[in-house]
Amino acid sequence: MESNKSKILIIGVSGRLGFELAKASLNSSHPTFGLVRDSAFSDTHKSLKLHTLSEAGLTLIKGSLQDEDILLEALKQVDIVICAVSSKQVHEQKILISAIKRAGCIKRFLPSEFGADPDRTQVSDLDHNFYSRKSEIRRIIEAEGIPYTYVCCNLFTSVLLPSLVQPVNDARTLNKVVYMRPRGNVYSMNELVGIWEGKIGKKLKKIYITEDELLKKIRETPYPENMELVFIYSAFVKGDQTYFSIESSGGLEGTQLYPQITYTTGLNTCMYDLVGGNDHTGDLSAIVKCSDEESTPTKASFSVIPKLVPTGLTGCSCCSRDTIFHVFCEGETAKYIWNYFGAPMGNKPGDWNIRRILRQWGEFKPVNNIHRLCL
């Protein structure tokens, strides 16, 4: 590896986000270290992912966010720290921040965020301190004088993962918030519905709800089951990803920083995945069926709220019983098969459709001869 490449420590490499970040770091030839809890090695899926990363050159360090001494030893070996733990562990970063301060050698810290900007969300009375905990971590980092970069991907963490390593060494992003808001990713729900209707040549049946009705549903639904509704309210009603200007906030927009990176807009992705391909007649018929006048309104009907948000459409469970997507991707048997064969290769499809699974599989680069044979 090149000697001038920054050494990167990623905490949470066995998770979905951390695994992708580690792959991106290794592919960029950074000497990469991963802090891993002992329990990860006894989990079949996680241990296979760790084996894949280790074969690709990752240095594994056993430890956790609760052990400051181990953290300190790990930090002395690196220049940059990326924390990719789940939102539930946000407060556990306090010990990590203390260790970073003690080590005194870290040039950049990327805390666990990668979603909406916690300082700009407008749902503090609904989110059970989900965002305020992240803001608290920001204030501690800033108070300690630790150099940082905050990355806000809004609703597109998985899509924009390949470019997340870019801000690590970029002097322009030091002590800045980097927002991933590509042109072509900001649409109102009404605009999306109109485009979708144009694609399928049929009007969708719509159910309109008011802001008060959505708030009532949020308050009636117990925590944490109501958090998905809170995120919908934040994005689609309050417009928390887009109501402010990036320039006036002192932040930076990722795709403008790195124009050489090719990205696919959310609109192209959802149309390509859901209604754009000739092999998706099963998905298309299910979508249309949900919009027939004689059909009972279901979750597939859109709540039309005219706010600008980074676009993202997902399949609906209520209309998927007989679709191609359900049979080959969404069903429990399909998920088991794809995870059984794909996870050891580093390809865990989640809720992807067939085309995206195969496209991701085809883009994998083998890390050794066995990996190449399996792929």
Give the angle subtended at the CA of 213 by the CAs of 209 and 219, to the nearest 5°: 145
Active site residue 217: no
DSSP secondary structure code for residue 121 in this structure: -
- Preceding peptide of 224 cis, ω within 30°: yes
Strand 176-179 to 206-207 pairing = unpaired
CB 112 within 8 A of CB 27: no
Distances (CA, A) of 51 to 25, 26, 343, 360, 371: 16, 14, 11, 19, 11
The number of residues making up the chain comes to 375
Start-to-end Cα distance in the chain: 25
Give the span between the Cα atoms of 279 and 179, in whole angstroms.
35
Give the angle subtended at the CA of 220 by the CAs of 218 and 226, to the nearest 5°: 40
Please pick, among 23, 49, 134, 176, the residue that the annotation labels catalytic. 134
DSSP secondary structure code for residue 178 in this structure: E
Cite the active site residues.
134
